[in-house]
Amino acid sequence: MLKIGSGYDIHRLVKGRRLVLGGVEIPSDKGLEGHSDADCLTHAMADAILGALGLSDIGHFFPNTDPKCKDMDSQEILKRASEEAQKQGYAVNNIDATVIAESPKIGPYIDAMKAALSKTLGIATEQIGLKATTNEGVDDIGQHKAIAAHAVCLLQK
């Protein structure tokens, strides 16, 4: 049995925060604003897994009103989403994601992100597709004010 889910997340860029994407800290003068470490790529992947299971999004499981979630490492969120799949008898077959950012350039960090994400999910890096694109100067992403990510996940029983 196969199940597919999709996820999306976006966070504003702000000064005074570190930039974490896919579990990798990227040198930048701005980071993503959020209650956790605000790793929008990892959040989109976790939501894709939870969506495939027919469950609520990460905000339900890790609310921004819960002090225990403050500055939480998003790899823990992804790990717990994966564990929920395992409880239901599913494993991540593959996951594919796109990061949308004008800056910084994401390409040089893709291999490190895939390594971190594969470790968290307990799957091979070959099971993770990861791409980066810009928003061609359009909207807050295009104006260097935010970063977003889309993800699709295939679970297999």
Dihedral sign computed on CA atoms, order 99, 24, 111, 116: negative
What pLDDT, in 10s, does the model give residues 109-146?
999 999 999 999 999 999 999 999 999 999 999 999 99
Instruction: State which residues form the domain around 144.
Output: 2-156
Half-sphere exposure of 43 (CA within 13 A, CB side): 27
Domain count within the chain: 1
User: What's the pLDDT tens digit per position in 51-71?
Assistant: 999 999 998 888 888 888 788
Q: Give the CATH number of the domain where residue 134 resides.
A: 3.30.1330.50
Q: Under a CB-based contact definition with an 8 Å cutoff, are residues 46 and 77 in contact? A: yes
The whole-model pTM stands at 0.96
